[in-house]
Amino acid sequence: MQNALTPAEVLELVIRGDYHDPFSVLGMHRERGKLVVRALLPGAVSAAVVDGKTGNILVPMQRLGDTALLFAEIPGRKELFRYRLKIDWGTHEQELEDAYRFPPVLGDIDVWLLSEGTHHRPYEKLGAHPAVMDGVSGVSFAVWAPNAQRVSVVGDFNGWDGRRHMMRFRHECGVWEMFVPHVMPGDLYKYEIRDIDGNVRLKADPYAFRSQLRPDTASIVHWLPPVAPSDEVRKAANALDAPVSIYEVHLGSWRTPEDGRRWLSYRELAEQLVPYVKSLAFTHIELMPINEHPLDDSWGYQSTGIYAPTARFGTPEDFRDFVETAHAYGIGVILDWVPAHFPADAHGLARFDGTALYEHEDPREGIHQDWGSVIYNYGRTEVQNYLVGNALYWIERYGVDGLRVDAVASMLYRDYSRAPGQWIPNKYGGRENLEAIAFLRKLNETVGIDRPEAVTMAEESTSFPAVSRPVGDGGLGFHYKWNLGWMHDTLSYMHEDPLFRKYHHDKMRFGLMYAYSENFILPLSHDEVVHCKGSLIGKMPGDEWQRFANLRAYFGFMWGFPGKKLLFMGGEFAQYREWNANGSLDWNLLQYPLHAGVQRVIRDLNTVYRDFPPLYRLDFDPAGFEWIIHNDVDESVFSFLRWDEERRFVVVISNFTPVPRYGYRIGVPQPGWYREIINTDAVIYGGSGIHNHELLAQPVPANGMPWSLEVTAPPLATCMLIRKES
């Protein structure tokens, strides 16, 4: 064992870079009544100890044999003092502070919280932080690797030599740490880890705030972004009773530069994308993951650097500028966030110190069957802190408005996408992943307490109960849940020829059976336009005119239906092609009237949605919805009311056949004149122009209501009516 080694054996291990406690040997020490300075300087020709106060050379250093270890006894001194090392590298001389003269980086409270697993902002201490210690500028490094035999920080500043800056181990919390003088923001670095088995691994920093662009994998020293202030305006815009209409974007393929570059920058996107989203009256942008990731084709969902905005589009400051620009336009920013898994790339988290540190040892728990990725071990408090801290990091340090949590279903169930015998039951013998459930509750409680202006959204595809209910009521604590069932049912209905839709009528109304079980977002996301699923317009039946009319009518139905809205880029102008992440959207299609008409209808639907509170105020309250007609199977017509808390209402009518319905009677709750606020059959959208002019309610009961209107239901169209105020 190393603690029983002789002094000579210890020095030999230090020289080889194999010693677990280099600070006990290197630097300045009192030994037998004398001060001794030792430094391991591979490649140095000679060195001397310099008085840190006067700058005078005190004594030249001697070399231990033919090794890289140099040492000196300091004459006439008994007390420890500040010193530097003057080093002759053969080609040049350099005067440096000795990293081994500085005290520990972590304070007692940090060590306690990290060891206890209650440090909600571990990124404030772990990772690389530019700092000043004892009047010297440098960088504090700290990394969790409790089972490593030795950890060094390596980079351009030490020739990537793991012997130069071997770190101090804090047994209490499993963290290796060190202050390295003279390192600056912009310097490249990694951790060289001699793992539990003695193998040397070169790892990127799990907490790196900036990383190199693939194929390079080094971390980059960068300042921790300042805290973004809380914003009551943004809090109100994210609320359950607010209009929320989300434009989902993959930044790399929204639009490509005209000068041949692969991507627009964050700042160019702020100048182009944000005003575009504003012009279409969306309330939020949702970005597919912008964390650093090694494979373009993963779209960011397999990240090796969850604290670093990807370098594909610029610097962390550039990304923060994008968020601030969006906010200046009144647009919220939501990030897709992936705590379900991570890739097994050698430079990443996998077997970080030679053990399953962030993941599970058993592949029945630790390998994601669908993606070949690695699953986080949610039962470890350090892993929970890593992830919860990351959620707070994006909200607090970049000011993002929310996180859409990816693949929640795969987290909730131990048997997700696994055959019998390929999964391990929980302690009660069940299939639920109790540790993941506890993690998600902790995540949502922490965000709710520390940054209540932000929201979390679950992409959850099963019937797991109470996903968007408070933790105190037994729920998972998300604010919103994606309604994937509604999306699948309604798209399946729209795919049918109108002649046969009467046989699938329930698909459009079934969503009301469970609409108030969760706080739902209605998503038409990227998942529906990739992997041979075609485009939205490609799912519509009929000739060209009918396909576009179907899509416009569907959008109108969606914007009238209870729930917040989400549309993936390209859908707003009916892109024909399936989405391709390696190219731009087909913006040239906007020269054609039918495509431009879809874009206009999205703009106007968003505007109407925001302008009329009944369409959003009671999205999650049954009092906000009332069927007028849901059983007209033969004519495929649906009509309903949307109410707000002040009993104002909007009438929604959808006709999903190409046959206009003239003199179609629908009940209404109040007398008076009614007018259209939108009609997806309008000529400006590419429709046939069949409108309802002002309509006077008649005292003829219909559909259980005392008054009624004789409306025209345009072909393959949705229209909305309001009662005119007298």
- Domain-embedded: residue 507: yes
383 SS3 class: helix
Is position 56 within any domain?
yes
The answer to the question of residue 531 being in a domain is: yes
Same domain, 441 and 531: yes
Instruction: Let me know whether 152 and 269 are in one domain.
Output: no
Determine the Cα–Cα distance for residues 494 and 551; give it in Å rounded to an integer: 8
Regarding whether 139 and 39 lie in a shared domain, the answer is no
Residue 228 lies in a domain: no
pLDDT of residue 725: 82
Instruction: Extract the runs of DSSP E, i.e. beta strands, from 156-223.
Output: 168-170, 175-181, 188-194, 200-203, 219-220
Residue 243 lies in a domain: yes
CATH of the domain at 701: 2.60.40.1180
Helical axes 381-398 vs 434-450, angle rounded to 10°: 30
Give the whole-angstrom CA distance, residue 114 versus residue 110.
Answer: 6
Mean pLDDT of 44-72: 94
**Whether 571 and 629 share a structural domain:** no
Q: Domain boundary residue among 613, 642, 667?
A: 613
Mean pLDDT to the nearest integer, 311-321: 97
DSSP code string of 499-526: GGGGGGTHHHHGGGGTTTSS-EEEEE-G
Q: Is the pLDDT of residue 524 over 60?
A: yes
- Residue 1 has a pLDDT of 42
> In the predicted model, what is the mean pLDDT of the chain?
95
Same domain assignment for residues 53 and 185: no
Instruction: Assess whether pLDDT exceeds 50 at residue 698.
Output: yes
Q: Which of 583, 613, 643 is the last residue of a domain?
A: 613
Instruction: Give yes or no: residues 115 and 247 share one domain.
Output: no
Task: Give the separation between CA 206 and CA 184, rounded to whole angstroms.
Answer: 19
Percent of residues, the chain, with pLDDT higher than 90: 90
Residue 114 has pLDDT above 90, yes or no: no
Q: CA dist 706 to 310, 650, 697, 702, 721, Å?
A: 59, 17, 10, 7, 17
DSSP letters for 647-710: S-EEEEEEE-SSS-EEEEEEEESS-SEEEEEEETT-GGGTS-------EE-BS--BTTBSEEEE
Kindly state whether residues 87 and 156 are assigned to the same domain.
Answer: no
| pLDDT the model gives residue 119 | 83
Tell me, yes or no, whether 227 lies in a domain. no
660 and 535 belong to one structural domain: no
- Taking CA atoms, 506 is separated from 271, 624, 693, in Å, by 44, 21, 31
Which CATH number belongs to the domain containing residue 508 in this structure? 3.20.20.80
Query: How confident is the model at residue 726, as a pLDDT?
Result: 60
Q: Just list the catalytic residues.
A: 406, 459
Cβ count near 360 (within 10 Å): 19
Q: Are 562 and 667 contained in the same domain?
A: no
pLDDT for residue 368 is more than 90: no
pLDDT digit string, tens, across residues 184-234 = 999 999 999 999 999 999 999 999 999 999 999 999 999 999 999 988 999
Q: Provide the angle, in degrees to the nearest 10, between the axes of the packed helices 484-495 and 544-560.
A: 150
Q: Are strands 673-679 and 127-133 parallel, antiparallel or unpaired?
A: unpaired
- Read off the pLDDT of each residue in 150-166 and give the average, rounded to a whole number: 95
662: tokens are: 């003239």
For residue 23, how many other CB atoms are within 10 A of its CB? 19
CA–CA separation, 723 vs 672, rounded Å? 7
User: 566 with 646, same domain?
Assistant: no
- Start-end of H helices in 417-574: 434-450, 484-495, 506-509, 544-560
CATH number at residue 90: 2.60.40.10
Task: Write down the residue that tokens 């932000």 correspond to.
Answer: 454
pLDDT in tens, 412-424: 999 999 999 899 9
Question: Which value, in Å, is the radius of gyration of the alpha carbons in the chain?
Answer: 31
What letter represents residue 592's amino acid? Y
Rounded mean pLDDT, 253-278: 95
- Say which amino acid occupies 94: Q
**Residues pairing with 220 in the sheet:** 188
Please give the residue range of the domain that contains residue 26: 2-97
Same domain for 493 and 632, yes or no, is: no
> What integer is the mean pLDDT of 547-551?
98
Question: Of the ranges 112-126, 463-477, 590-604, which one carries the lowest mean pLDDT score?
Answer: 112-126
- Note whether 28 and 172 are same-domain residues: no
Sorting pLDDT into bands at 50, 70 and 90, what band is 3?
A: low
User: Poorest-confidence range of 142-156, 410-424, 594-608?
Assistant: 410-424
pLDDT tens digit string along 93-106?
999 999 999 999 99
CB-based contact 36:28 (threshold 8 Å): yes
Does residue 225 lie in a domain region? no
Domain count, the chain: 4
Instruction: Indicate the pTM of the whole model.
Output: 0.94
Q: What is the pLDDT of residue 369?
A: 82
Closest by alpha carbon to 584, among 251, 254, 249? 254
Helix (H, G, I), strand (E, B) or coil at 111: helix
Q: Which of 612, 614, 722 is nearest to 675 (CA)?
A: 722
Pick the last residue of a domain from 613, 640, 674.
Answer: 613
* Close Cβ partners of 647 (under 8 Å, ≥ 6 residues apart): none
What is the rounded distance in angstroms from the CA atom of residue 430 to the CA atom of residue 404? 27
Residue 226 domain-assigned (yes or no): no
pLDDT value of residue 716 = 98
